[in-house]
Structure 1
């Protein structure tokens, strides 16, 4: 059972970046993770500290912030196919070429990132003077769960967006650890190509939106819909509630 105090909905909120300013926030979050923290991208290519690529013009961008401090902590984009192509196809060769139907009603989820800074928002279960090793392990697990919670919150926003847009399938290109976490949560993933080398081993999968919606994860938390950043700029703080 999730404590209401520490639930995602109580601590965080998700926005769709629908203005130039909000997209800059999104791209900077990616810069902090992919350039500063992980070194996946060359900083010199992004002197304005905004990490983006050619697929962003075919994408919608989401980001999550801490509800009480206003600090932005994570991001994700959903990419529509362009010229019968998804980003993952540039890195992995599909077992069978995707059919026209595979591109209709489908998106690719990519650029999922959570700042290391998100760790400090994990609920403190360990006092400064408590040396108990078991408590230390529990605290480290809580830090991991916090990052995972932000990830699920971003995924839930992408699910809501998919339903609104009539999108039926997702493609994702993920490392083994993330694939394991998604499968462990009970989401069915269908491998669509052999693993490839891209910043380490990555494997492409397809997920069905209807199946994602049925996951018990959403019954206890992640009940609030995402908002558009333009609503925030206009001072409209009404939360979009799902029917």
Structure 2
């Protein structure tokens, strides 16, 4: 049984406010990454939200948004990662146009108690589980909320013809994603921004090439954009 669904929330959708409220709860109330006085309406949002695709993880049983992330496209504003971190390589403009930044990955506190999800923020590997979840949900797999959001990122990126990902993340999250076959190349040192974070940049197909499911989702979306039919199963790149 699938306990969660993952979908894009359009900026015109009334539920977009739920995403911003969840971000406020995580980034302001729980972790103090953002200042409450900068977000007086109880929602966490900024100018980059206007040029971003917003993704949601929804618990089917309650129709509750319990996770979110955004994909920020190249614009005149640049990328937030370049404003907040040190990037050691120059990304040519032609590559920037095919790049999106993974940003504001947030999971509700109740669901971060699932194995490993606190590594999103504090860089540590947590192995507990939440008593608020059913036994079946606890058995449904390590970090499937985060991986479900990444699966949706692959789909959206391929659909939009995007080739590269930018992301800043905690060391613990990088370790967990490596276990799932995702390999991100660092492009700068670790800095203190929303906790210790390091910037990464790379081709999406190279990042996910050791995860057959994610590679398949991405390549299928690219092929659909180009009007090409691919086999259902796509072999992992060597």
Q: Is the 8 A contact 2:3 2:60 kept in 1?
A: yes
TM-score by structure 1 length? Answer: 0.72
Structure with the higher fraction of residues in helix conformation:
1
String of CA shifts for 1:132-165, please: whole Å, max 9, x gaps.
xxxxx7757x969867210110111010001101
Could you list the runs of 5+ residues in structure 2 that have no partner in the other structure?
Answer: 116-126, 131-136, 221-231, 233-238
C-alpha distance after superposition, 1:180-236 (max 9, x if no partner):
1122222121111222221322111113222355443638xx9xx9xxxxxxxxxxx
Q: For 2:67 and 2:147, how far apart are their aligned partners in 1? A: 11
Corresponding residue of 2:170:
175
Which of 27, 30, 35 is 1:37 aligned to?
Answer: 30
* Preserved CA contact (<8 Å) 1:168 1:208: yes
Give 3-state SS (helix, strand or coil) of 1:190's partner: coil
Say if 1:173 and 1:119 are closer, same or farther in 2 by CA, change over 3 A.
closer
Q: Rate the CA distance shift 1:34–1:147 in 2: closer, same or farther, 3 A.
A: farther
Q: Which of 13, 16, 19 is the aligned partner of 2:8?
A: 16
Matches within 5 A, 1:10-159: 10-18=2-10, 19-83=12-76, 85-118=78-111, 139=129, 148-159=143-154
| CA-CA distance at 1:120 after TM superposition | 8.0
SS in 1 for 2:15: helix
Distance 1:84 1:26 in 2: 22
Q: Which moved more, 1:53-62 or 1:210-219?
A: 210-219
Instruction: Assess if the C-alpha contact under 8 Å between 1:59 and 1:77 holds in 2.
Output: yes
- With normalisation by structure 2, the TM-score equals 0.74
**Higher deviation after alignment, 154-163 or 111-120:** 111-120
Report 1 or 2 for greater relative contact order, CA contacts < 8 Å, sequence distance ≥ 6: 1
Change (3 A) 1:178 1:169: same
In structure 1, distance between residues paired with 2:173 and 2:70: 16
RMSD: 2.9
For the 8 Å contact 1:56–1:79, the answer to whether it is kept is: yes
Work out the number of aligned pairs and report it.
Answer: 200
Alignment partner of 1:204: what SS? strand
1:95 counterpart SS class: coil
Separation (CA, whole Å) in 2 of partners of 1:40 and 1:147: 25
Q: Is 2:182–2:209's contact at 8 Å kept on the other side of the alignment?
A: no
Structure 1 gaps of 5+ residues are 123-136, 226-242
